[in-house]
């Protein structure tokens, strides 16, 4: 039995599809029925509605919170492998405590149960946000050390803390692999992750920001996870990035595939600073801030990542981002024009 946490998210849902297609025995955790049912729609992107329903029914869906230990204990019964995809993604300073509770404490719970149930292997989905920064190195890789004094978001700190818990599990006898994807592009989640870029360009986004970072398609994330879990590799982490490219190019590619105007106005740092001052003032009156000084700095800092380790280990070739954008945009166009 294979357990997937966060099975209703971008990574978890696409992973569930690939495993169900292979007729693996799957148990998947979910929190709300609406999000669980949405997974069937994700499946239908890649097969007929009949097959999507069949694959969906093959999964043993279990309602459980990541911090509900009794529910998790029941979910772990008979499980041999765990894919830990559940995580909270937020850059809102008001969510700092929630990030730690979900990403660090939640991961600690999963690790403790992996130890207790003698799980054969755990795959943890982390992020490039948890990697360190070194101005002396042209590219960030798995060996780049985390600097606790660095400019880190609450999200990055929580993902780094989650990795510490996973490494603790490896020290206590659980074979683990960690994947650190860049910005993931994939269909179905148009209001989270990279999805809003498609939505906003569809509505006529005019501004772009010039930042280079690592991008990867959802298909490559899932494939590398499965290859790692089905190999003898253990107690290793891997950067999962297809290309280091500028947001301007990504947004241009999305716009052209959606047949929408390409954003031509460059977003300047001072524009965000003005916005931050306004939102900071608003927070005094109970309005949540979405932008922090840390976020602003991050938005304008280029970051190049190296995936050479996994390319060499698995002899793996990543899908070009232009192709990923084209496929994702095609699904987006079909979905927004489909009759409700």
- pLDDT at residue 275, as a whole number: 54
Sign of CA dihedral 65, 168, 2, 49: positive
H or E element in which residue 49 lies: helix 49-58
pLDDT band at residue 135 under the 50/70/90 scheme: confident
Lowest model confidence (mean pLDDT) among 6-20, 153-167, 266-280: 266-280
- This prediction has a pTM of 0.92
The backbone region for 17, taken as left when phi is positive above 0, alpha when psi lies in -120 to 50, beta otherwise, is: alpha
pLDDT > 70 fraction of the chain, expressed in percent and rounded:
91
pLDDT at residue 170 tops 90: yes
pLDDT band at residue 270 under the 50/70/90 scheme: low
DSSP structure string for 50-65: HHHHHHHHHSEEEE--
- pLDDT at residue 272, as a whole number: 62
Lowest model confidence (mean pLDDT) among 63-72, 122-131, 132-141: 132-141
pLDDT band at residue 284 under the 50/70/90 scheme: very low
Superfamily of domain covering 87-261+296-337: NAD(P)-binding Rossmann-like Domain (3.40.50.720)
Return the domain boundaries, the chain.
87-261+296-337
Confirm if 61 and 74 have CB atoms less than 8 A apart: no
- pLDDT at residue 287, as a whole number: 37
Q: pLDDT digit string (tens) for 207-235?
A: 888 889 999 999 999 999 999 999 999 99
pLDDT at residue 281 tops 60: no
Distances (CA, A) of 279 to 95, 161, 192: 15, 28, 21
Structure tokens at 103: 């990403």
DSSP structure string for 83-120: EE--------GGGHHHHIIIIIIHHHHHHHHHHHTT-S
pLDDT at residue 288 tops 80: no
CA 43 to CA 28: how far, in whole Å? 14
pLDDT at residue 269 tops 60: yes
pLDDT at residue 149 tops 70: yes
Q: pLDDT digit string (tens) for 290-330?
A: 566 666 677 778 899 999 999 999 999 999 999 999 999 99
> At residue 158, what are phi and psi to the nearest 5 degrees?
-70, -35
User: Considering the chain, what is the average pLDDT of its residues?
Assistant: 90
């Amino acid at each position: 039995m294979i357990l997937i946490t966060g099975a209703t998210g971008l990574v978890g849902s696409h992973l569930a599809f690939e495993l169900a297609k292979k007729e693996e025995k799957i148990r998947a955790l979910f929190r709300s029925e609406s999000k669980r049912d949405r997974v069937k729609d994700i499946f239908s992107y890649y097969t007929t509605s009949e097959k999507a329903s069949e694959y969906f029914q093959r999964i043993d869906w279990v309602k459980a919170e990541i911090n509900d230990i009794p529910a998790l204990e029941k979910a772990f019964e008979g499980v041999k492998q765990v894919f830990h995809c559940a995580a909270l993604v937020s850059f809102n300073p008001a969510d700092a405590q929630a990030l730690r509770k979900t990403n660090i404490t939640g991961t600690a719970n999963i690790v403790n149960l992996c130890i207790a149930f003698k799980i054969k292997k755990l795959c943890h989905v982390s992020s490039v946000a948890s990697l360190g920064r070194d101005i002396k190195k042209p590219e960030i890789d798995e060996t780049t050390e985390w600097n606790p004094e660095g400019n880190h978001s609450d999200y990055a700190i929580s993902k780094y803390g989650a990795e510490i818990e996973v490494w603790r599990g490896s020290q206590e006898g659980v074979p683990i692999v960690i994947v650190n994807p860049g910005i993931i592009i994939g269909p179905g989640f148009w209001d989270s992750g990279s999805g809003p870029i498609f939505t906003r360009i569809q509505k006529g986004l005019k501004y772009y920001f010039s930042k280079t970072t690592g991008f990867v398609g959802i298909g490559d994330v899932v494939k590398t996870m499965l290859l790692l879990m089905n190999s003898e590799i253990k107690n290793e982490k891997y950067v999962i990035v297809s290309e280091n490219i500028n947001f301007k190019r990504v947004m241009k590619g999305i716009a052209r595939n959606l047949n929408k105007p390409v954003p031509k106005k460059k977003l300047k740092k001072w524009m965000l600073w003005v916005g931050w001052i306004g939102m900071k003032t608003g927070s005094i009156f109970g309005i949540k801030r979405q932008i922090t000084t840390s976020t602003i700095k991050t938005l304008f800092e280029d970051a190049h990542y190296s995936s050479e380790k996994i390319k060499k280990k698995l002899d793996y070739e990543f899908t070009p981002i232009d192709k990923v954008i084209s496929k994702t945009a095609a699904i987006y166009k079909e979905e927004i024009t489909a009759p409700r």
